[in-house]
Chains A and B, each alone.
Chain A
Amino acid sequence: VLIYTPALLFCCNSNELDVNLSRVFAGGCGKASLSSCSPKVCIVGSGPAGFYTAQHLIKARQDVEVDIYERLPVPFGLVRFGVAPDHPEVKNVINTFTQTAKHSRCSFYGNVNVGKNVSITELQQAYHAVVLSYGAEGNRSMGVPGEDLAGVYSAKDFVGWYNGLPSCRELSPDLSCETAVILGQGNVALDVARILLSPIDILKKTDITQPTLEALAESQVRRVLIVGRRGPIQIACTIKELREMVNLPDTRPDMVAADFDGVKEALKDLPRPRKRLTELMLKTALEVPGEKEQERRSKASRTWGFRFFRSPVEVLAEPGHSRIAGIRLAINKLEVSDGAQAVLTGEVEDVPCGLVVSSIGYKSLPIDPSVPFDSRKAIVPNTMGRVKQAAGLYCSGWLKTGPTGVIATTMNNSFDTARSILEDMDSGTLDMSAAKPGSQSISALLEKRGVKPVTFSDWEKIDNVEMKRGESRGKPREKLLTVEEMLPGHQ
């Protein structure tokens, strides 16, 4: 800021001086003026969507300032709370997010609940543009009777539990049953299966939470069924995750051969990625294993398998109890018209089990009544990241496109939104004619409301505490599990 004021005085002849001085005091932000204000952008949510949007903006324009607001005291969203503990390489993106957060034109404000501590309208008054990147914190429900019985969990909560999400700390799932049924066959479903069946010796070296580790050490779960509505060729998981299940120590596959009728014949028409995935499934399900593999399987103490053409219709309770005893599944057949649809046959099948995890999708929730929300698709209606009928409001990540895709998907999605914002800055669609106070006014508001934001360097202290705690246990970190412990002053 010191640099700008003297510069301005040297840049104008006496005729221009008056005009420019008045522009400074009016606070013009267009490209042409060397005034003392800068475009200020606010991002709500500090997961991959938030950080990649910030990164792109900061890189593209030397005058953009970005403030990232996050509800929790800790940043990184699903990278911290969604990616499985045994997939640490996927979390390497945190390094690039950290660089962005520590950039001079980026600020992180944790422990701020947008929608509760501060409204979207207030943010829009303080910033030239507001980007909603708060993801999908809800989940799709199965919509079947018995869904609320003890022993039934959403994958979102189960994953939150093993990853130390404070709101899932009390989940304490009962793992005293032999069979667990997972509805859904995407990568999240496979993550849950893998965490339930992995040898403790492997898990104890990860950043899985200590309470989860203790629960898993006592777990009686020996059989996990991963259930999907359609057939093998429609499975939503990808090959890396399938291969991990196939190679999981001390486990053996348990599939139903009949589920794979006609699949081999369909192989030749499949594109390479789908073909390789299907081939691996076929091999695992149908091929007679060699001697070594046969021996390995016979010694395995745990089993896992896919069950296809099954949809949940009811979660069954133990008579006279409110605990789960099993799940009733409708048997489907596949109708291949425009794509492949599951169609009920009328038959059902009961599977005894003590744990049901519903992994059928996350779901975004509305944050603020002033923001348009499409409740059918559970996204904020937008065109290329520009929120419809809301000038100066943008969205990126799962909130924009729906809750599917990996980090790289979200990265591209966020870059696209950033490009829309930059276009709007250049074209004048974004009103930059007045300077905005940005975090100055929001910080004042928050202080008045008794909210104390957590800074990025506060997070770095938490980071160090967690890593230190993990050291003595041979883990990369031992996560703090409550918001209270995360707040500065507690350490």
Chain B
Amino acid sequence: MALVTTLRRLVQNSLREYSRKASAVTWPTKQRSFSIGTQPLRSDNKVTVNFINRDGEKITVKGLPGDSLLDVVINEDLDFDGFGACEGTLACSTCHLIFDEEMYKKLGPITDEEMDMLDLAYGLTDTSRLGCQICLTKSLEGMVARVPESVADIRQTKDGSS
């Protein structure tokens, strides 16, 4: 019986691995370097970003200065449903993120073009921004960004005409 259970687990695991590899939609190659001795200097440059996902879970990752928050989400393979549909070209509002007041003020000026798209986001707040337009700097170290619920944007009008 024990043998059968072990074999079953082995088979189930290898099946899962097989389907995981086969079903990869985006699987970034994460290089793991096992260097002996001092850490490479590059890692000092990194900026810690905390995302609160739609289930309220906190996910802590790092990005490089200059990366947009959308870049970070993609590079770290964070699984936010439908995030960044237009791939950072200011043609949608699916990378909508919400910040606390203090962090929001640090994020810098917002262009009309960003605000035009942000205006269409569901659950828009006064401290909302589009993740594809926020670029990391060291001064944003430890920032917290909340991923809001992503129901339809405002252009889905129900004015009784349909």
> Which residues of chain A have a CB within 8 Å of any CB of chain B?
3, 7, 10-13, 34, 52, 55-56, 58-59, 62-63, 87, 89-90, 92-93, 95-96, 99-100, 103-105, 187, 234, 236, 238-240, 243, 272-273, 276-277, 339, 360-361, 377-378, 401-409, 411-413, 415
Q: List 25 A-B contacts (CB under 8 A).
A: A10-B8, A11-B4, A34-B11, A34-B12, A34-B15, A58-B25, A59-B23, A89-B86, A92-B87, A95-B87, A103-B23, A103-B25, A187-B155, A236-B157, A238-B120, A273-B119, A273-B124, A339-B160, A377-B162, A403-B162, A405-B152, A407-B92, A408-B92, A408-B93, A408-B94
- What count of chain B residues pass the 8 Å CB interface test? 48
What's the nearest-Cβ distance from chain A to residue B13, in Å? 11
The 7 closest A-B pairs by CB, nearest first: A89-B89, A405-B156, A273-B119, A402-B162, A89-B91, A62-B19, A409-B156
Contact B7 A276 (CB under 8 A): no
- Quick one: CB contact mask for B1-20 with A, threshold 8 Å, 1 for yes? 10010011001101110111
In the complex, chain A residues whose CB is within 8 Å of the CB of B14? 3
List 5 extra interface pairs beyond A104-B23, A187-B155, A273-B120, CB under 8 A: A3-B15, A276-B115, A276-B116, A339-B160, A361-B161
Contact B19 A412 (CB under 8 A): no
Cα distance, A380 to B156, chains bound together (Å): 18
Interface assignment of B134: CB less than 8 Å from any CB of chain A: no
Cα distance, A319 to B150, chains bound together (Å): 54
Cα distance, A360 to B159, chains bound together (Å): 12
**B 88-111 contacts with A by CB, 8 A:** 89-94
**B 56-106 contacts with A by CB, 8 A:** 81-82, 85-87, 89-94
Q: Which of B85, B93, B150, B151 contacts A96 (CB 8 A)?
A: B85
Cα distance, A7 to B11, chains bound together (Å): 6
Assuming the A-B contacts A273-B120, A273-B124, are A406 and B156 also in contact, with contact meaning beta carbons closer than 8 angstroms in the complex? Answer: yes
Cα distance, A377 to B158, chains bound together (Å): 12
Assuming the A-B contacts A404-B155, A404-B157, are A361 and B162 also in contact, with contact meaning beta carbons closer than 8 angstroms in the complex? Answer: yes
Q: Which of A52, A90, A187, A403 contacts B86 (CB 8 A)?
A: A90
CB closest residue in chain A, given B4: A13
Interface assignment of B52: CB less than 8 Å from any CB of chain A: no
- Quick one: CB contact mask for B119-162 with A, threshold 8 Å, 1 for yes? 11000100000000000000000000000001111111111111
CB closest residue in chain B, given A92: B87
Contact A273 B154 (CB under 8 A): yes
Contact B23 A415 (CB under 8 A): no
CB closest residue in chain B, given A277: B119
Assuming the A-B contacts A62-B23, A405-B152, A412-B150, are A13 and B1 also in contact, with contact meaning beta carbons closer than 8 angstroms in the complex? Answer: yes
Q: From DSSP, what is the main secondary structure of chain B's interface residues?
A: loop
Cα distance, A7 to B89, chains bound together (Å): 47
Contact A10 B11 (CB under 8 A): yes
Contact B11 A409 (CB under 8 A): no
Cα distance, A34 to B1, chains bound together (Å): 18
Contact A411 B94 (CB under 8 A): yes
Assuming the A-B contacts A3-B18, A93-B86, are A243 and B116 also in contact, with contact meaning beta carbons closer than 8 angstroms in the complex? Answer: yes
CB closest residue in chain A, given B92: A408
Assuming the A-B contacts A11-B11, A273-B154, A412-B151, are A62 and B16 also in contact, with contact meaning beta carbons closer than 8 angstroms in the complex? Answer: yes
Q: From DSSP, what is the main secondary structure of chain A's interface residues?
A: helix
Q: Which of A13, A62, A377, A407 contacts B85 (CB 8 A)?
A: A407
> Which residues of chain B have a CB within 8 Å of any CB of chain A?
1, 4, 7-8, 11-12, 14-16, 18-20, 22-23, 25-26, 81-82, 85-87, 89-94, 112-113, 115-117, 119-120, 124, 150-162
Contact B124 A404 (CB under 8 A): no
Contact A276 B119 (CB under 8 A): yes
What's the nearest-Cβ distance from chain B to residue A360, in Å? 8
In the complex, chain A residues whose CB is within 8 Å of the CB of B151? 412
CB closest residue in chain A, given B8: A11
Q: Which of A10, A378, A415 contacts B4 (CB 8 A)?
A: A10
Residue of A99, A273, A361 with highest tally of chain B CB at under 10 A? A273
What's the nearest-Cβ distance from chain A to residue B147, in Å? 14
Contact A93 B85 (CB under 8 A): yes
In the complex, chain A residues whose CB is within 8 Å of the CB of B94? 408, 411
Assuming the A-B contacts A238-B155, A273-B124, A377-B162, are A406 and B92 also in contact, with contact meaning beta carbons closer than 8 angstroms in the complex? Answer: yes
Cα distance, A484 to B12, chains bound together (Å): 47
Contact A406 B25 (CB under 8 A): no
Contact B23 A105 (CB under 8 A): yes
Contact B4 A12 (CB under 8 A): yes
Q: Which of B22, B87, B124 contacts A104 (CB 8 A)?
A: B22
In the complex, chain A residues whose CB is within 8 Å of the CB of B19? 62-63
In the complex, chain B residues whose CB is within 8 Å of the CB of A408? 82, 85, 92-94, 150, 152-153
In the complex, chain B residues whose CB is within 8 Å of the CB of A89? 86-87, 89-91
In the complex, chain A residues whose CB is within 8 Å of the CB of B8? 10-11
In the complex, chain B residues whose CB is within 8 Å of the CB of A339? 159-160
In the complex, chain B residues whose CB is within 8 Å of the CB of A3? 14-15, 18
In the complex, chain B residues whose CB is within 8 Å of the CB of A412? 82, 150-152
Contact A92 B85 (CB under 8 A): yes
In the complex, chain B residues whose CB is within 8 Å of the CB of A52? 82
